[in-house]
A and B are shown apart, each in its own frame.
Chain A
Amino acid sequence: DVKVTQSSRYLVKRTGEKVFLECVQDMDHENMFWYRQDPGLGLRLIYFSYDVKMKEKGDIPEGYSVSREKKERFSLILESASTNQTSMYLCASSLQVAFPNTDTQYFGPGTRLTVL
């Protein structure tokens, strides 16, 4: 079974702090994703990566950056946390397949981040 793990289930940070959210997958997937989940808004894509050191902006990249130095690990960075970044953050991974996109995304358990 694919396993996607996230470094923390719950995290509390202060405004202005630099925050790192880590995600690791163990199935050699090429694609990795970071989503933000807010009530009434569903899941919104922040960034995704289709290969090591490769990244693309999603729908809401402002205030975030990412790093993918190794295939299995994808980090989300909040350079200077703000209260409006309080949310649930979900990581996911999937295989790289040809068009059309057919592959399932596998999700981590999520990190609930509170910024005070």
Chain B
Amino acid sequence: AQTVTQSQPEMSVQEAETVTLSCTYDTSESDYYLFWYKQPPSRQMILVIRQEAYKQQNATENRFSVNFQKAAKSFSLKISDSQLGDAAMYFCAYPGLKGGSEKLVFGKGTKLTVNP
């Protein structure tokens, strides 16, 4: 079974600093996507960034970037110049492949606190 592991239940960062959230996953597939979702307090979950496994280049979206290590099955999220609005639960997700279905398997989440 596919699993996704986020080893940091909570993290904190000072405003304007950089923080990295870790994620590892288990798969026997070679072609897949990986996702980071953000869930602010009392707000809807939204996609932060996604990575295509067959691409060497790490995905980047403004202040958010990933460090994708395919051989190590590692997919960490780096947030640069942290802002107060970055405070949220962050979930790493991998498509659980079951007969071609599109369901996602989520990690347990990392709660990020941004200190002013």
A residues contacting B by CB (< 8 A) are: 4, 31, 33, 35, 40-45, 48, 50, 56, 58, 90, 92, 94, 96-97, 99-105, 107-110
Q: Let me know if B109 and A103 touch, CB within 8 A.
A: no
The CA of A35 and the CA of B102, in the complex, are separated in Å by 14
Q: Which residue in chain A gives the minimum CB-CB distance to B47?
A: A104
The CA of A107 and the CA of B35, in the complex, are separated in Å by 14
Residues of A near B52 (CB, < 8 A) are 102
Interface residues on B, range: 20 to 34
Given the interface contacts A40-B9, A42-B91, A110-B44, does A97 sit within 8 Å of B102 by beta carbon?
Answer: yes
Question: Which of B13-21, B26-34, B61-69, B77-85 lines the interface with chain A?
Answer: B26-34
Residues of A near B31 (CB, < 8 A) are 100
Q: Let me know if A42 and B44 touch, CB within 8 A.
A: no
Q: Let me know if A104 and B109 touch, CB within 8 A.
A: no
Write the B84-116 contact mask toward A (1 if CB under 8 angstroms, else 0): 000000010001010011111011110000000
Tell me the smallest distance from the CB of A66 to a CB of chain B, in Å.
14
Residues of B near A110 (CB, < 8 A) are 44
Tell me the smallest distance from the CB of A81 to a CB of chain B, in Å.
23
Q: Let me know if B101 and A94 touch, CB within 8 A.
A: no
Given the interface contacts A41-B108, A42-B108, A101-B95, does A96 sit within 8 Å of B43 by beta carbon?
Answer: no
